[in-house]
Amino acid sequence: MFDILKGPIFSFQEFIILSGRATRNIWRRPHYIDDISLQMDIVGVGSLPIILLIGFFSGSVMALQMSRALAQYGAAGQVGMITAITLVRELGPVLTALLFAGRNASGIASEIGSMKVTEQIDAMRALGTDPLQKLVTPRLIAACFVLPLLTIIADFIGMIGGYIMAVPILELTTTSQYWNTSYTALEWNDITQGLLKPLLFAFEIALVGCFYGMRTTGGTQGVGLATTQAVVASSVWVFVIDIFITRAFVWYAAIRS
């Protein structure tokens, strides 16, 4: 039994060590600003089209699903409030993080994994360059910077999608009522929750992708395996982190009330 647990425990220990060193390197020189800018373009701008698409349709589907239930209670005018709260608190951060993980955790793992199996990382060490400082920390900084911004964009586009479905198509409410209820429904607690989640998601996604890339072995087949493991692990951890953050905010709200 202990032999079965030994592998996962050692892997988690290696992940914690890598996370600590990568986080510490944020304040150490050199900072590799050019690499950070390049990664922001790759993981941020490159993810924008799919984030816009999913954000729009998630808001539209949310308004469509809620329209019938709200109409039964004569509260169809509150569709904007329901859409805003759902997108900002939960749907926007989680969906954006899952898409971000599927696109970028795989890319990070495959890129670093290819460098590992071709011994480029060993060459970096031989030249006196810290691979974590050069490869991991720029990707961590870039992900933590762009994912909250992508989440904000996805939330806004989702609200537009909900508006198009609720007002011109279904005629559930008016334009002014939709946007007024959306605006007044959001509290600072919702906004804080909606921005803290993607920040922690980005931290986890970037580090998981780098972790599996750095421990890649076995040539091209190992690169494919590392890519798959990075996507699966980062997606699972998105939900794990989400439930803990949501529980913390629910507990905090209960204390305040």
What is the per-residue pLDDT across 88-112, written as a single tens digit (0 to 9) for each?
Answer: 988 899 999 999 999 899 889 999 9
- Percentage of the chain lying above the pLDDT 70 cut: 98
Q: Count of alpha carbons within 13 Å of 223, Cβ hemisphere only?
A: 13
* Helix (H), strand (E) at residue 32: none
Q: Across all residues in the chain, what is the average pLDDT?
A: 87
List, for residues 26-72, the tens digit of each pLDDT value: 888 888 888 889 999 988 888 899 999 999 999 999 888 888 778 77
List, for residues 4-19, the tens digit of each pLDDT value: 777 778 888 888 888 8
Residue 156 CB neighbour total at 10 angstroms: 17
At residue 1, the pLDDT reads 55
**How many angstroms from the chain centroid is the CA of residue 153?**
13
* Helix (H), strand (E) at residue 31: none
Q: pLDDT-derived band of residue 168, with 50, 70 and 90 as boundaries? A: confident
Residue whose C-alpha is closest to residue 87's, from 194, 242, 204: 194
Residue 101 to residue 103: CA distance in whole angstroms: 5
Q: What is the pTM of this model?
A: 0.90
